[in-house]
Amino acid sequence: MTTYKQKYYCMRPMILEDVEIVSKWFEHLADLSIFDRNTPIPTNSNIVAENWKEVLSTREPRQGYWFGIEDQTGKLVGIGGIENISYVNGDAILALFMADEVRRKGIARLVCGVVLDLAFDQLRLNRITSYYREDNQATEKLTRTVGFEIEGTKRKGWFSGGNYLDVITVGILASEWQNARTSLVENLGETKKIQFGRPPWSARLWPEKLA
């Protein structure tokens, strides 16, 4: 039985086989309604798979990069990446979903760090944007900790549970990431590590030790 006191996690490109697991996560309406404002009720795995086929398309230029997050046993415990990439404007949207049993354990911060490194250092993007519902305290704390700044509010732009809620827009620039990254790495310490790619575990674990 997995205790999730593990130290090492990895990110690897998401595949369609992951969708069966993801669709089970999205059967929980409370989780789905916080992750996707355009899907008011859960759908079956076949519909979810059809939707993700387009998302995971390899056509160039890529409009998004999604990754599966695995623990040391190889179990999928989350997904994350960037979508709606605008290469002209150097902008993309950060999205992330963690399985319930691994939330509030610092893993999402690791994933954000790797994704932002990829966005700014590999794809040469200039900014990353994210959105969350006003009552989503977990995402508010996560984005603030990683270095995002609140940039605006879309008033009553998210309908859920019979109520209209504000949508908060946050963003981080490439020029801001290095300082934010340094602060994030210092705060994370040595408790958990993540790498891009499956084991064997390499020397390129994130975060690296500060010089």
Q: Any idea what the CATH number is for the domain that residue 144 is in?
A: 3.40.630.30
Chain centroid offset of residue 84 CA: 14
pLDDT for position 135: 93
CA distance 7 to 17: 25
CA distance 62 to 70: 23
Structural domain containing residue 121: 8-196
pTM above 0.95, yes or no: no
pLDDT classification of 6: cutoffs 50, 70, 90: confident
Flag whether pLDDT at 203 surpasses 90. Answer: no
Our count of domains for the chain comes to 1
- Whether residue 201 lies inside any domain: the answer is no
CA distance 197 to 175: 27
- Whether residue 1 lies inside any domain: the answer is no
- Whether residue 20 lies inside any domain: the answer is yes
